[in-house]
A and B are shown apart, each in its own frame.
Chain A
Amino acid sequence: MAKLTKKTKIEMLKKLIEIRRFEERTIQLYQNAKIWGYLHPYIGQEAVAVGACMAIERQDYIISTHRGHGHCIAKGADLRRMMAELLGKATGYCKGRGGSMHIADTELRMLGANGIVGGGIPISVGAGFGCKMEGKGNVTICFFGDGAANNGVFHESVNMSAIFKLPVIYICENNMYAISMCSTDSIACKDVGKRSCAYDIPGYIIDGSNPIEVYKTVTKAVKHARDGKGPSLIEAKTYRFFGHHPNDPATYRKKEEVEYYRKEKDPVANFKNKLLEEKIINEKEVKEIESEVAKKIEDAVTFAEESPEPELEKFLEEVKQI
């Protein structure tokens, strides 16, 4: 866990910008048909992944979702290998077999995005057992959305983690929409965080657009877990600025609502302005970060574009074993 120093805050801003620009670039590539299949941009939710991942160590695990690029980047994934995977190249994280929804890296202790909504939640129970049995005080963060919170696996998994006091931090990113279903229409008790009382574990409902608030809350939950006291449930209220995927016009949302979140709750702009106001950073330094990030992303795109396609014969040879 990094201390909340000026340097940490600048690191946070860098990560926020990195995720935002990476996602903007992937949308472009999607529109140019360089990326196909499904793409679920994390834009609008960056503060959750960044705040949470800064509150843990490299040896801690995270489990991600179908909207997982932000979690990967926040945990320190290699942008080149990510971009190569999105372009379906042999040099990608999954050798072109997985695409956007299946990036994983055990070295990085990132146990995988997931194409099944809620699919990662039960896996967190096992990662929790692994951390507990290993006895080194490691924890697992399990990210999931408001949609997944309504899947039955949520109950089985959180209940089991609570019974065995597993070191798991459940972070529900309530971005208000499961494709078109609004969470106010899908969650009976309105706040997922309130469900913590059903499992007798700490519960938090926080502003997911504020990386400091996320960071501080996750830090508490991580301490609780490392102390052997078991899981916590954090509901981070957030918003996805785009539709479910780039081609979704999101007509199920009111224009005023989208405008409100984009204007008032933009995690990247708000945090940048906050650091400028607090004189932690100046405009020139922000520009430097932007240009550094842009360079990194273009390098990743170039790497991905220049990388070879997977060889069909090699693939067929590899899958013979399955």
Chain B
Amino acid sequence: MRNPLIRRIPRELKGDFHKYIVIIIFMVLMIGVISGMYVGHDSMLAAVNEGREKLNLEDGSFELSKRASQSFIEDISTGKRADVRKYFIDKGIKEADKEVEKALEEELNKQVTQAIEERVREMCKAYGITDEEMIKKQIDSAMEESYEEALSEAKESKEYKKAADDAYKKAHEEVEKKVDEEWDKISDRYELEEEYNPSPVTIYENFYRDAPEDNDGDGDDDATVRLFKSDSVINKASFIKGREPQTDSEIAIDRMHADNVGVELGDSIIVEGKKFEVVGLLSYVDYLTLHESNTDFMFDAFGFDVAMVTPDAFNKLKSRVHFNYAYKYDDRPEDKIQKADYAESFLKALITQTLVYDIEIENYLPEYLRQASNFAPSDIDGDSAATSILCYILIAVIAFIFAIIIGNTIDKEAEVIGTLRASGYSKKELIVHYMTMPIIVTLIGAVIGNVLGYTAFRNVAVNLYYNSYSLPPCHLVWSNTALIKTTIIPLLLMFFINLIVIVRRMQLSPLRFLRHDLTKTRRTKARRLPRWSFIRRFRLRILFQNMPNYLVLIVGVVFIELMLCFAFGLPDSLSHYADEAPDMIFAEYQYMLMDYRDEDDNIIETKEPSAEAFSAKTLLFPRGANVLFEGRGSGGDEKVTVYGISEKSAYIKLESNLTPGQGYISSAFSEKFGLKKGDLITLSEEYENKSYEFTVSGIVDYDGGIALFMDKKSFDTVFDKEKEEFTGFFSHNEITDIDEQSIATVITAEDITKVTVQLNHSMGGFMNVFKYALVVLAAALIYLLAKIIIERNEHSISMVKILGFKNTEIGSLYIIPTAIMVTLFSIIGFAAGYYLMIWIFHVFMLQMDGYFVYYMKPASMILSVIYLLIGYGLVSIVDYIRIKRIPMDVALKNVD
């Protein structure tokens, strides 16, 4: 026979559908969101990973100062390091040989000349010639006649040969000794002596040009477009719409950028003054996010674009060609550790080979550290992980609410439970019975949630990703992980939380159930209350009676406040950052030059009166223990721009008596890593094993970047630069008299705010929806808990009605304690959420490049509490109606 108790479940669901429908909707939404995020995530990642193979994504790339020779390509392809020692010895010997040869020649010449002169003088003496004029004439003619013969005779002489051999030998030994000394230092520094396995690679040309793009035809440049050739076999693109360019006037541009700036297929854009028709919208496999530079804090799909043109069109453009080479390992690395090993080994090969070939490395970036191809997948991963953690917290909150509901049901049904236990029902049977409801509700939530996850929510997630990233097209992927995480985890949460509560409750003896003696700890006396009015003491009793409800409420409210702090704080922080941006930069324009000399070797100058030359270089600051999580940002250490500022700078004021080991740090640098005056920091070179120590002498109020400032003299000393060398100009106005070819980059306030524009675009709309969703969530949570409180007191409410209390009075008795608690918890929750958010932001920022502080407007702070109270206000109206509807006979009935 089937347990007849099971028939209670559907009736209970039907009988109390208000309560269960809220819980089920809650579960459906939570599970649906997690499922949607995971299915969207898996579908998206499947498309990304498929693209990596299909579109031949590089394993890394390097940019050289000039086009590499065929022999360089061949040598670097082996993955082997160049024999730098031999190279230097050969070079040294060649130079030494020249020197020795020159010295020997001079010496021999001197000796032969001397010998001839002496011989002529002796002969003249023998003939009695004393006239010096005559003697010189004789010497000259003798020189003319026999110099060559004497010289060759001397060269053939044994003495000369021995002397020459000795000289060469000595010079060679000297060279080797010197090179060895240097080599020891270099090899120690680069660890070049150690055993290594070369990783052979295949090298691909992946040249590009960065050109100005005018996408609305107004004559102003709107963005920088990075152009690649359409015949490239590495880092290919997938087309979302349209096709590859086929003529010189056709172009295919990034889909995300096109969406953002409103360019559609068939429109025209102007690149470098030339009109191109947009024939394709694409997604480059190595530009899933439009990071112009790997150190960019955020991608910029407005101001940066990647595009494909035909090789002919590419060759006709005038912007500087970036000699970028992509490589792929012949033996694929298996994991990230191996990727790092390979990358390090390849970098050594690259450094040594470029040294031997006398080429400079402009940039080196292993793919696993490439933000443009890894930011999106890791962000998608992070998003789904974060969303699911948030949802699990909410499911746990729901599970606790459920546990309270069941606890109340057990209270209410104590006598029935006692009777059943007395009749022979085992504890286990009753535990199973009371566990059935939460499990069924979770299962209903999981089934509907998963269906929605695979349909509506998946599309929401995918669209969310498409709104932010330049992703390839994707198709629905069945996700086992999603199914497990959206079914098993909520079930387990619900199961264990309820099991603990129910098992604890069921420990009581049948007799105690029958007597309704359910409290575990027996108070001998009632809690003493202050001598307040009856009404206030009544409310206080209700407060004490419902402590477990209020405990769940505070967890829920803190959680919702945290989310509200996020929903309000992120747009606030972005607009705060954008507002502050003009004050954040110390120069309206920062021109970084390719070199301080132009093509004709003249020092670059400008007539702009506000221009001021400065030196700069990028060093690394170890993030080390500051990082809590890895896998985001550009990876590795924080990049610090070190500035050498002229003595009487109009832009940055530094103390005049700084020594070379001292410097000022930017306020962003100080805040990000908690550095203060007097601290010692160690910065190291990116591609050399060289490090420098600096004492922080002060802090410059500059939030726009992680920077160290020192005077130019110290800069030149520390980095071994010539006095005349510099990197670029600070200027208040645009500099127009410098050849564009000589300018590497220009940094303006816009570059600082592009991150805010991008984030606002990606998340702005979502945040508003999120705020309202949170209000609904808060209201639902409070609704459930308030309903439990009233249900629990139905009997008393009915009784006080009989006694003659008015509904308003009863309302004030039962609603005001919750109102006080909700208000109190909202304020506590806000404070907790606010500080937690500051901490979360800081931890997040530590792993990213750059710095960005969390900020919340005072109005937003108030609103975040008010929003929650609005949610509660709605619930209390429902509560009041509910109290009004409780009939008086409840108190008189035995069974209802």
A and B from one complex: no
